Structure 1
Amino acid sequence: MTRRAQNKADLLAGTALAAAAAPPAPSPTGATQPAEPARHLHENMDRSVRAAVARVTGGVSPHAFMEAWSDWALHMSRAPGRQLEMAERAQENALKLLASCLPGTEGAARTPFAPKDFDHRFDHPGWEQLPFRSWKQGFLAVQDWWDHATDRLRGLEEQDANRTRFMARQALDLVSPSNFPWLNPEIIETTVRQGGRNFLEGAEHLSQDLVKTLTQRHDPPPAGYRLGKDLACTPGTVVYRNDILELIQYAPTTAKVQAEPILIVPAWIMKYYILDLSPQNSMVKYLVDQGFTVFIISWVNPTAEQADLSLEDYRKRGVMAAVDAISAIVPDQRIHAVGYCLGGTMLAIAAATMARDCDERLASVTLMAAQVDFVEAGELLLFLDESQVAFLEDMMWDQGYLDRPQMARTFAAIRAEDLIYTRAVRRYLLGQDDLPTDIGVWNGDTTRMPARMHSQYLRGLFLENRLTAGRFAVEGRVIALKDISAPMFVVATETDHIAPWKSVYKTQLFTDNDLTFVLTKGGHNGGILSEPGHPRRHYRLSHRPAGAHYSGPDGWQERHRPRPGSWWPEWSAWLLARSSGEGIPPAVGAPDKGLPPLEPAPGSYIHLA
């Protein structure tokens, strides 16, 4: 019987659910607590109702957003000066809009309002001709007014201001002139040229997407993008497996390798092969070609039966199990540990715990687009407060996990202009099919999150920020990032909306070790996948010696000039400088220590849908 069916059976029978069905409440220090007592029938009924609502809203709490609107409206009603300012703004925008609509208008007066850098809805040159220019500028003028109307207001919670701005943008995006065939010059031009065939092809795309959404069908990779053949194709072997991970050891490509191996810890919210995409942009292949012995964790895609996996499970039976296996395969050598995104956060927790326990097996720690402090965690905070987290917990309690589409919708909503509406117009109204790319195939290969672990992560780290507040405990004892003495290489990306660079930069505030910080061009994924030869790339770099005073991020970009090219060679040289020399490549696995080769890379967990 499935978890969901068991919940409903217990509810109808009037019995209490097993304590393991509900996420355990974390302790004030972040330690794992004993399972909760059996819940009352009435509370189970409430949670079932909230879970049903959460599935309809994609896990977004209606209460949280209604509260934000109420807070904004009440503060605005008590601010006559701000109301007058917004009236003047409306008048100014109206005059600019009127001037831009006059025939023969040139220069700045022609386009007084510009879309955001990531907004590609108005890229077609037809939007610069009347009457389309008037519709575009009118939409952007209203958008500009709402951006200012929902700006910070004295007494208004910053999170509520951000949420009202987000909701206003969502409503405006829905009625953008680019969404309507008779207002969009690109759609009109395409329809005339194709004789309406674009609508027929768009209807076919829409029906395909509806079926896939309703059935939750997981499409196989398109031709030329097969896992293990075209993607995730760096030669290697699975040398360790448990119920949480597979550990892959990659085959050397050089006659000698550095004595210290590398362990890469990817986020469990993604399939690991974002770091081993095509051969030309594979970070794994690059490191192997530089003469390193590389290991990487491939996380399992959890099911409802694994709902009780915890953060501690991912640390102990995940990161630490991998460290133990590597220490058996490459004995008497320290490890260069690398963490990406949430994997970097988990690696920081593991490294701090190892430092506390005098475990000196780490030669260095690299954190890529990873946060340890969540006060400035970017636009994901729009979806996180007590109401939101409780809403998600009820949905995960019912399902056993946070499902793939529910996470995908959250990330897409943050950049709805480009990720939702631009794609919808292209696919359903222009009749254009999605062109496959390696990162696009990976992006569609999403994973689930175990209910207990995700609840602990959201509450202990995102909501309560325990790691940098000195309240995160491992095995009953608090850990501190300042205990980490291994040198660090910290990478942030300029346009990251998941791990904003100033938030990643704050790793320097909570550590005292030797630390190199890199800020590279690109977003959360694109900035990390910045292989040598990638066009128009640059990065900035700074070094903080151990024990140096903290210097904040304000003005940091101005003080550090951009360096052209990829940051990968800089990182490789940094790793080499902290390695002890070359030697014979280690054997594959360690059969005499219970670590025999299991199967060729990329293993089996990568294929779990």
Structure 2
Amino acid sequence: MTDKDKAKPEDATVSPAEAYVVKDPEAMARNIARMLEELGKAASAWVEPRERGEISDTMSEPMADMVKTFSKVGEYWLSDPKRAIEAQTSLLSGYFDLWSKSMHKLAGDQADTPAAPPPRPADKRFADPEWETNPFFDLLKNTYLVTSQWANKLVTDSQGLDAHTRHKAEFYVKQITSALSPANFLITNPELYKETVASNGENLVRGMHMLAEDIEAGHGELKLRQSDLSKFKVGENIAMTPGKVIAQDDICQIIQYAPATDKVLKRPLMIVPPWINKFYILDLNPQKSFIRWAVEQGHTVFVISWVNPDRRHAKKDWEAYAREGIGFALDTIETVTGEKKVNAIGYCVGGTLLAATLALHAQEKDRRIASVTFFTTQTDFTHAGDLKVFADEAQIGSIEAAMEKNGYLDGSKMATAFNMLRASDLIWPFVVNNYLKGKDPMPFDLLYWNSDATRMPAANHSYYLRNCYLENNLSHDRMQLAGHTLHLKDIKIPAYNLAAREDHIAPARSAYIGGRMLGGPVTYVMAGSGHIAGVVNPPAAGKYQFWSDGPADGDFDKWVDGAKETPGSWWPHWHAWVSDLAGSKVPVREPGGGRLEPIEDAPGSYVQVKV
């Protein structure tokens, strides 16, 4: 054996610490200088619109609200010295247990010792093996988990807080703990640290360049990219179902989709999507498209595509959206098909508007909507989830003041609020991937849609926040629309009420309670997954499940306990329900029906307008 051969085993043994050692200090120094240059560009992109007066930051208001909320929690713990000492002792005890465990691990003792609470199941933040095997990162991670758990417990154990203050405190603690995770920082994340060393800081140069680009794209605000936006184009590889825009007014276009069967069901299907984001969530691609699937089942499908509003639409309120949106669609459908009855679907806030419109129609003796389907829709906002954190008089007043300037709420504000509901999934992983790892996000149609934000007209959005989230007027028979006081019990048509078990925006319990306030027969169904994936779940995917046929009487928990679980998509279940109401088959109807001249191809021009 030669000396060279003898050296091979020794050279092949690399110490784990080697991954943390900079191999090329000169290259690292050059890249740090380049990173700082890119960071300077990002800072300039942020500062310049503010210097020109184009942006006025309002961060002081939410920060003040956070401090005010936490001060009420602090009052409870500090008002009693014994209670304060117990809280401090609890935290210090957790830290001592962690230290003891770490010392045992360093000594090679695997005996049972007090352990930190484990990360949540499949927590991707701590997927790197060194969070477990490296004593430093293991201690860091568990210290973070103990502290987060302790902070949450301070809020949950606080007495004397009103429900809204407690809810805000829980939400703010969740935001802070998500932001302060050691996985979000270069020095405290082993994967990031090793990647930076291996590339001599190239990842940080790319990341700061992307940060500058994203602030420029947001015109001085960070427009966090969650998907590779260059890979999608509406009308080409997204929102592709064939159809025509057959009518339009100031606030919407009406799309009729081309038939895909030899005959169609007699009663047309009208879809009222939310105007927060765009309708093509129901037409992402041919495999996921609910619209295409419904057409293939024999429905004549009409969809409202809402305008992306600007200053001209500032005064468009809920009555305008009911009359010029839903009413206009009903008039158009009757003109094209000759049918005086439709089956209607409302999704999220589109469903809330549809419910209010149905209550109005009941008083006006307008019976053109013969059945209604609600997709993850709230009509009672008692249990409306974390979005209620933003709905108190002070915060709504602040939003109204901001809308006064331009006549609308910028879509990025709502996008940020929705992302904050799941910050650990929708904000911080992308911050780490984009700006610290310097990697472009993967193309994902759902996240492309999520980033394609829409504005909200001032009058419309103010009415929605006050009447639904703040005062809960619709479910308490106090909502005023077109000179009428609305009553949900007046809605006596058959209803299919779809909720999603993990919905953070329209919680399943909330949808269930609201559905019980309707005056007609209600079929409640709960899909697996959340607000989007629970709805956009085509049968061919074979994913998730749904629950149905729970006991008709009783509360939500009783319904869940008694419901039947069925694997897969709820779409066929819904079709069986609605097809019984849709009548016999009739000859197919082409877009426009020979009565209206199509304006343009689907998905139309309104949906193409960017913020």
Which bin holds the TM-score, normalised by the shorter protein? 0.7 to 0.9
Q: Secondary structure at the match of 2:236?
A: coil
Show structure 2 runs of 5+ residues with no match: 1-52
Corresponding residue of 1:606: 607
Answer yes or no: is 1:234 the counterpart of 2:248: no
Corresponding residue of 1:159: 164
Answer yes or no: is 1:318 the counterpart of 2:318: no
Q: Secondary structure at the match of 2:604?
A: coil
1:431 to partner: Cα distance: 1.6
Corresponding residue of 2:34: none
2:586 alignment partner AA: G
Answer yes or no: is 1:299 the counterpart of 2:306: yes
How many matched pairs? 552
Answer yes or no: is 1:578 the counterpart of 2:572: no
Q: Secondary structure at the match of 1:411?
A: helix
1:56 to partner: Cα distance: 1.6
Contact 1:118–1:418 (CA<8 Å) still a contact in 2? Answer: no
Q: Secondary structure at the match of 2:425?
A: helix
Render the CA deviation track for 1:473-505: whole Å, top value 9, x for unaligned. 222121211111211111111211111111111
1:419 to partner: Cα distance: 2.0
Name whichever of 532-541 and 54-63 sits farther off: 54-63
Change (3 A) 1:74 1:264: same
Q: Secondary structure at the match of 1:387?
A: helix
Answer yes or no: is 1:122 the counterpart of 2:123: no
Alpha-carbon separation, structure 1, partners of 2:472 and 2:112 = 45
Q: Secondary structure at the match of 1:243?
A: coil
Contact 2:264–2:588 (CA<8 Å) still a contact in 1? Answer: yes
TM-score (norm 2): 0.85
Q: Which residue of 436, 439, 451 maps to 1:429?
A: 436
Corresponding residue of 1:470: 477
Render the CA deviation track for 1:3-56: whole Å, top value 9, x for unaligned. xxxxxxxxxxxxxxxxxxxxxxxxxxxxxxxxxxxxxxxxxxxxxxxxx99952
Contact 1:493–1:527 (CA<8 Å) still a contact in 2? Answer: yes
Corresponding residue of 1:567: 570
Contact 1:371–1:507 (CA<8 Å) still a contact in 2? Answer: yes
1:224 to partner: Cα distance: 4.5
Alpha-carbon separation, structure 1, partners of 2:249 and 2:339 = 24
Render the CA deviation track for 1:421-480: whole Å, top value 9, x for unaligned. 221111111121111111111111100001111111111111111101111122212121
1:392 to partner: Cα distance: 0.6
1:278 alignment partner AA: N
Q: Secondary structure at the match of 2:315?
A: coil
Alpha-carbon separation, structure 2, partners of 1:480 and 1:202 = 53
Render the CA deviation track for 1:97-127: whole Å, top value 9, x for unaligned. 2354231576996863233458532222221
Name whichever of 418-427 and 264-273 sits farther off: 418-427
Q: Which residue of 362, 370, 373 maps to 2:377?
A: 370
Q: Relative contact order (C-alpha < 8 Å, sep 6+): which is higher?
A: 1
Contact 2:348–2:375 (CA<8 Å) still a contact in 1? Answer: yes
Computing the radius of gyration from Cα coordinates, the structure with the larger value is 2
Alpha-carbon separation, structure 1, partners of 2:561 and 2:353 = 31
Q: Which residue of 491, 496, 499 maps to 1:484?
A: 491
Render the CA deviation track for 1:551-603: whole Å, top value 9, x for unaligned. 211243332242110111111111112221111012422554xx321111011
Corresponding residue of 1:495: 502
Corresponding residue of 1:541: 548
Answer yes or no: is 1:558 the counterpart of 2:561: yes
Alpha-carbon separation, structure 2, partners of 1:68 and 1:522 = 32
Answer yes or no: is 1:507 the counterpart of 2:514: yes
Alpha-carbon separation, structure 1, partners of 2:148 and 2:330 = 51
TM-score (norm 1): 0.85
Q: Secondary structure at the match of 2:256?
A: strand
1:380 alignment partner AA: L
1:197 to partner: Cα distance: 2.5
Alpha-carbon separation, structure 1, partners of 2:67 and 2:230 = 46
Alpha-carbon separation, structure 2, partners of 1:105 and 1:510 = 61
Alpha-carbon separation, structure 1, partners of 2:83 and 2:280 = 50
Question: Percent identity among equivalent residues?
Answer: 35
Q: Secondary structure at the match of 2:557?
A: coil
Alpha-carbon separation, structure 1, partners of 2:101 and 2:531 = 36
Render the CA deviation track for 1:294-320: whole Å, top value 9, x for unaligned. 010100000012111111100111111
Change (3 A) 1:562 1:466: same
Corresponding residue of 2:422: 415
Contact 1:232–1:278 (CA<8 Å) still a contact in 2? Answer: yes
1:188 to partner: Cα distance: 2.4
Answer yes or no: is 1:253 the counterpart of 2:269: no
Contact 1:263–1:338 (CA<8 Å) still a contact in 2? Answer: yes
2:161 alignment partner AA: L
1:212 alignment partner AA: A
Alpha-carbon separation, structure 2, partners of 1:54 and 1:196 = 33
1:112 alignment partner AA: A
Q: Which residue of 188, 198, 204 maps to 1:183?
A: 188
Corresponding residue of 1:94: 95
Q: Secondary structure at the match of 1:56?
A: coil
1:94 to partner: Cα distance: 2.6
Answer yes or no: is 1:70 the counterpart of 2:101: no
Corresponding residue of 1:28: none
